Every structure is written in structure tokens, then in C-alpha cells.
Structure 1
Amino acid sequence: MHFIALALIVCCSVSFSWANEWGYPDLDSNQDEPFPKWGGLCDSGKKQSPINLHVKGALKGEFDSLRFENYDEHQKNLRMVNNGHSIQLSGFDHELTLSGGALLQDFVVEQIHMHWWSEHTINDIRYPLEVHIVHRNTIYPNMTMAANFKDGIVVIGVLYHVSNTPNEAIGSIIKSLGAVKSYDSMNKPVLVADSLAVDDLVPSVESYFTYAGSLTTPTCAEAVTWIVLTETFPVTLDQVNEFKEIEYDQGKQLHNNYRELQSENNRAVVLVEQPEQRSGAAGLTASVSLGLMTLILAGQKIML
């Protein structure tokens, strides 16, 4: 069992101060090893993440496009750290701002991290890699404060499918991975050798799922609006295996770092598509307005 003692973690991984040890089962060694209980809201919460996302079961939503500011700017001073449960990137040269869609405020990127395998599944399919781009609502001064409010955090989840073609952006990250793989280098940030634009990690955003959920690591605060893109990016298994060599303890590798699926608990999951991508579908389709979407993401129940 991968158990990691942490006094403070920033992640969704946005984790925060957590007194107990927590970790992941080593499913590469034992596929039957159960996922542990992490305690607190992680076990008692009703809006936990990740969840399985079903196209057929989702409400249909249509909004203005999401707006990304400075995501195309190459970041030349990115820092990478092995924090014992993931690889995290931070230290952006520019303020990267997300707005539009169903979001009522501006959100800025705080950090990026990876999960191998994916945490979310789409139509019951788990992917080999999921990248989380973690944003803070600008009305809150820091992530710790933002985690106390339902509108505090937005996380964009990008899933990666297996391909024979290496992913260039992931390859840029892997180039610096050797400096942080060992346990001795844990919590010691290094400069990412290649400049990287966050846009390079994000495929088309014309279609995505959104729902009200939580951080996927302790404290599992239910403060996250999730935006999980339906379009996936290619990555090779060799590239994914590079992340599996990260050590969380002396000589012990982090073979996987995903949380098991959580109960949906009758939450509304909205599938947002641009009009030009919408195809005719049989059956009842619910169209969600911005006002109704605000209620959904605030956790209000709706009846259809």
C-alpha cells in the first residue's frame, strides 16, 4: 500500500493540511488490493470525485465558449516537483485566466498535476493518463480559502488515450522527470527544461462534461466545478510508464495514483457541446440554461 505522510499538500491533488496518512493501493502488484478509507469528508461526503461520466445520462447544456487568457504563452520558469503522490507543475510566468461558459467569475491557474491511470472514466472506459489543470476563483486570496466555498475551484480534466505517437507536451515534461523521480528528490522543485504552453496540454474544449464535485485527495473538499473534456489526447504507454517510476518512499514506486470512482448521488452532470457539433439523438434531451446551470453547480436539486 502506498501510504504517504503529509503535513501539507497543494492539489486535487489540490490537497490541504491532513493529519492522517493516506495513499493508493499498488494495483500493478495486486489488482485485488482495496482502496483505503481516507476519513473525514472523503468518506462521508455526498459530492465526491471522480465519477463515471455517461454521455447518454447527461443533461445537455449550451453556453458561450470558455475563454482562455495567456494559455498559449510559453512558460519558461515552470517548476516541477515530486510531492509523493503526483508530479506537479507551478510557477507560471503569466496569470492564466479561465472565464466564460457557465462560470460566473474569473479563475486563475494555480498548478497542474497528473494521475496515472485516469481518475474519471467516460462511458465506463478508464484512460491511461489524466491531467488536472487546477484553477482558483479570483475572489478568494488563496487555495486554502477557496476550498471552503462551492465556487472556489475549477479543475479542467484532460484524458489521454493510448497511441503509437508520442505526445510532444508530455514529452517536454518527461525530459525533466529524471531529476525528481527518486525519493531523495521528493519535495525538491526543479526547473522544467523545455518551455511549455498550457494550451499544449488541452485538446478541443468544444465538448465537455461539467458537474459539482470535490478534490480527489484529502481533504476531499466539495469545492470543485469539474470540466472534463470529451476529446482525448494521444500518449504512448512508454510515456505513461515514465510517471510510474516516481518514488514515494525509498525504493518504492508510485505505480498508480488514481482514486476509485465515487457515487454520483443523483448529481446533475451536464454535457456541453457547441451547436455545430450537436447531432440529432433519439429520446428526451434537456437543454440547460446558464441560470439553471448556476443552481446545479451550487448543488441545488432539480426535477426533470
Structure 2
Amino acid sequence: MMWRSAALSGLVALVLVSLCDVVATAQCNEPDCSKAKFNYDQSSCLGPASWPDITPCWSTCSGSRQSPVNIRRNDATSRTSLGVFSFNIGPQQPFQVSTTIDGFKTNSKVSTTDHVVLSDVTQFGLSGNSFRLDGFHFHAGKFNNAKGSEHSFDGEFQPMELHMVFYNTKYPDISAAIQQSDGLLVIGVLAQVFDRARPSPFPGCVHTFQRTLSRVLMDSLKDKNPKSGKSCEETVDSTLTLQDLLPADRESYYTYEGSLTTPPCSETVTWIVMKCPIVVTKSVLRRFKRLEISKNGERLGVHGSRRPVQRGKNHTPFVLLKNF
């Protein structure tokens, strides 16, 4: 009887292993785009290197104008004719945002009653278009790793990066705009953490310590636990201004044509990466990395939430402009 029991146990174990393999394969190859999942684990079949192969509608993730990029300052062509973009509201005018957290995806959506619109964008054939702010989110790196931004300047990264996502107002919403070549515009702002001892790698930039943004983020990231089953549903409402999100120098930027940095990696984004960073508290970075992103207790800082640089590591094989 003992050998039969052992054999049966072995058979059960083999079946379970086989089932696990099937489940893993199903997750790694999902024909239904709406069910596809991804993560930032470099060793996983769901990690950044495998995004183009997970599901057919993510094949663009291996395209020729992918983001983020390394911004090689000396390779940028100065075009002062680009001028300065403008907004329909003043830098201190408040607007409402609602923040939700779904795993490693955090998103702060601007209220539908608030219209924050960017205009005077002239690069890449966008003259005459205006873009509405849909929302913003952050990216960060692993625990005990200062590399957290997605874009880099001359190979140097910062602890976090803010992305303000706009869509072209000629389209009804962001879902429609994402399909169009002139549909999206994203302002990227690198974020440092407050540290008096560390010299700034951004010469000529004034430290812009974002106290209000830091407080709002601390409130939004508080007590988010996927085990409760409620984290995807909970929202935190806050009030912010453009001054809270952008550096003191709101005029100087780099710009290039790129993509979303998460699947489906749509190559419909005009990127504006601000020349100067903002500064947030160390507590914000710590709390962000400690977000529980799965029901098994995994925290964001295990693998981070940043896509590796796609272009510009050693040279700049694309048009990179600056307006200063």
C-alpha cells in the first residue's frame, strides 16, 4: 500500500506541476488583449523584454519609436522657435484629482468638471492643437536602488518620475486619442528626493520642493492593501495646482516623438521632458515602494515600476529637440 500511496502522490505532484505550467503559459501568451497582464520583473515572461510577445495588440512594444529614452544633452538640437507651451489656467489655480491604486498602477485622474488644457505646442506638426490633462502617475525603482525614473539625462537616473498625460481635444476622450498619431502628449518630470547633502546633477536648475504634492501623495498612498480586496475600488480625492506638479522653470524642456512606457506601448506620444526636476520627500519614495501590489503581499519595490531605456544609450538615432 505504501508504494501505491507514494506513486499516487508523485502522480498528483506531476499533474499539479503540469497545471502550473499550463497556467503560466496561458498568462505569458494571452490571445485576448483585454485579459493580458504585465509586470516589471526582468526574469519573468511578463516582464518588459517580453511585453511584445504577451498578446497580439502589444506587438508595438518592439517598435522603432519606443520610450523611455536616454536624453543626451549634447545631442539635442536647439529650436528656440518652439517657444513655450501655455495652459488655460494659472499655475496656482486649483483643480480636483482622484487617485486610485490597482497593483503597481497608480493613477490620479483630473475631475471631469475641471478642464486643464495645454496649447502653443508647435513641434512635430502639432501647431494649432490643444491637449487636455487626463491625469498623472509616477514611476519608481527597486528597494535600495536610486534608479527610479524612466528617462535619464546623460545616463543618470533619478529616484522617481512624474508623467502628466494629455490627449488631443480633437478626439472625444483618451481612449480614442491613443489610436491616433497626434493623439497624446506626455510631460515627464524627473523627481529627486529631499537631500541637502547631495549635489544636484541639474546645473542651472532651482530646487523645487513640492511640499503640497508630497502631502497629497502620502495621503493617497496610505493603507492600500490588496488583501482587503478593496484597493482597486478606493479613491482619494485631492486638490492640486500646476505649480504643485511642475518645476520652477516651467519653460525649458526637451521633446521627441515616442510611445507610452506601458503596454500597449502606442507610438502616438509627443514627449515633453522638463529640463529641471521637482523634489519630493523621502517619505513619499519609501511609501510608494512599500505599496502592496498583489494579494500575496509583494511590494512595488521588489521589481519597481520603471521600463528600461529603449533608445539613446550610446547615441541619439532620433530627433531630439530642446527649446532653450
Question: What interval of TM-score do these two structures reach, taking the shorter chain for normalisation?
Answer: 0.7 to 0.9
Among 114, 126, 131, which residue is 2:138 paired with? Answer: 114
Among 170, 189, 200, which residue is 1:158 paired with? Answer: 189
The 3 A distance-change label for structure 1 pair 100 and 153 is same
Identity %: 28
CA-to-partner distance for each residue in 1:190-244, whole Å, 9 max, x for gaps?
Answer: 233x421133110122211100000000000000000000101112333211111
| Conservation of the 8 A alpha-carbon contact between 1:210 and 1:270 | yes
Counterpart for residue 284 of structure 2: 239
- Give the Cα–Cα distance (whole angstroms) in 1 for the partners of residues 251 and 194 of structure 2: 22
> How big is the shift at 1:247?
1.8
Counterpart for residue 253 of structure 1: 299
Among 79, 86, 89, which residue is 2:108 paired with? Answer: 89
Question: Is 2:66 aligned against 1:48?
Answer: yes
Q: What 5-or-longer segments of structure 1 have no aligned partner?
A: 6-16, 28-33, 274-304
- Give the Cα–Cα distance (whole angstroms) in 2 for the partners of residues 230 and 162 of structure 1: 17
Q: Which has the larger radius of gyration?
A: 2
Q: TM-score, normalised by structure 2?
A: 0.72
Counterpart for residue 322 of structure 2: 271
Say which structure is richer in strand. 1
The residue type equivalent to 1:146 in the other structure is: A
How many residue pairs match? The answer is: 253
Counterpart for residue 286 of structure 1: none
> How big is the shift at 1:82?
0.5
Question: Is 2:55 aligned against 1:69?
Answer: no
CA RMSD of superposed structures (Å): 2.5
Structure 1 ranges of 4+ moved more than 6 A: none
Q: TM-score, normalised by structure 1?
A: 0.76
Q: What 5-or-longer segments of structure 2 have no aligned partner?
A: 1-23, 28-32, 53-57, 141-147, 197-208
Counterpart for residue 291 of structure 1: none
The residue type equivalent to 2:92 in the other structure is: D
The 3 A distance-change label for structure 1 pair 197 and 179 is farther
The residue type equivalent to 1:38 in the other structure is: W
Among 124, 136, 157, which residue is 2:155 paired with? Answer: 124
Counterpart for residue 262 of structure 1: 310
CA-to-partner distance for each residue in 1:160-205, whole Å, 9 max, x for gaps?
Answer: 123237631122221232143545333213233x421133110122
CA-to-partner distance for each residue in 1:70-96, whole Å, 9 max, x for gaps?
Answer: 2532124x2110022232111424100
The residue type equivalent to 1:167 in the other structure is: Q
The residue type equivalent to 2:41 in the other structure is: P
| Conservation of the 8 A alpha-carbon contact between 1:54 and 1:122 | yes
The residue type equivalent to 2:93 in the other structure is: E
What SS class does the counterpart of residue 93 from structure 2 fall into? coil
| Conservation of the 8 A alpha-carbon contact between 1:41 and 1:221 | no
What SS class does the counterpart of residue 22 from structure 1 fall into? coil
Counterpart for residue 79 of structure 1: 98
> How big is the shift at 1:26?
7.6
> Matches of residues 1-304 of structure 1 in structure 2 within 5 Å?
18-25=34-41, 35-39=48-52, 40-62=58-80, 63-70=82-89, 72-76=92-96, 78-92=97-111, 93-102=113-122, 103-104=126-127, 105-116=129-140, 117-164=148-195, 167-168=210-211, 169-183=213-227, 184-192=229-237, 194-203=238-247, 204-250=249-295, 251-255=297-301, 256-264=304-312, 266-273=317-324
